[in-house]
Amino acid sequence: MGQVAAIVYTNENYHWSRRWLNEVNHCFLCVADSGQWIVCDYTSRGLELFITKELPKGLYYQRIEINSFSVVPFIPTCVGYIKRIAGIYNPLILTPWQLLNYVRRQNVIRKQTTESRENRSGSSD
């Protein structure tokens, strides 16, 4: 079992890419720790780390588990940092919208795999 985290997706008005990205143009990672959230937010000013009691506001939230840390090269963007921390190795994910859809698909695949295992183990009784 890994560390519980949440990817928060936002639509920042000041973001440089807002003209050509979908409604989601920024994302950051929040890691749960002792009833608090450690927020890891890579912005144009650099990596910002802070601790908060409540999960910051966003358009979408995705719960993930962090089981590994990637040491492969990455593009220093908000998506690049999340992929590195979360152990996502797909080099074609470049935007927050692509990351949102990728994690959605992975969660559905994991859920279906878990359900099919439970069904198989339940039907063998």
pTM summary value: 0.75
Predicted local distance difference test score (pLDDT) of residue 36: 94
One-letter amino acid of 90: N
One-letter amino acid of 10: T
Predicted local distance difference test score (pLDDT) of residue 46: 87
Cβ–Cβ contacts within 10 Å for residue 71, how many?
A: 8
For the chain, give every domain's residue range. Answer: 3-123
What is the chain's pLDDT, residue by residue, as a tens digit (125 residues)? 578 899 999 887 665 555 666 678 889 999 999 999 999 999 888 889 999 999 988 888 888 888 766 666 778 889 999 988 888 888 899 989 899 999 988 875 554 444 544 555 555 44
One-letter amino acid of 41: D
- Beta-bridge partner residues of 47: 42
Cβ–Cβ contacts within 10 Å for residue 110, how many?
A: 11
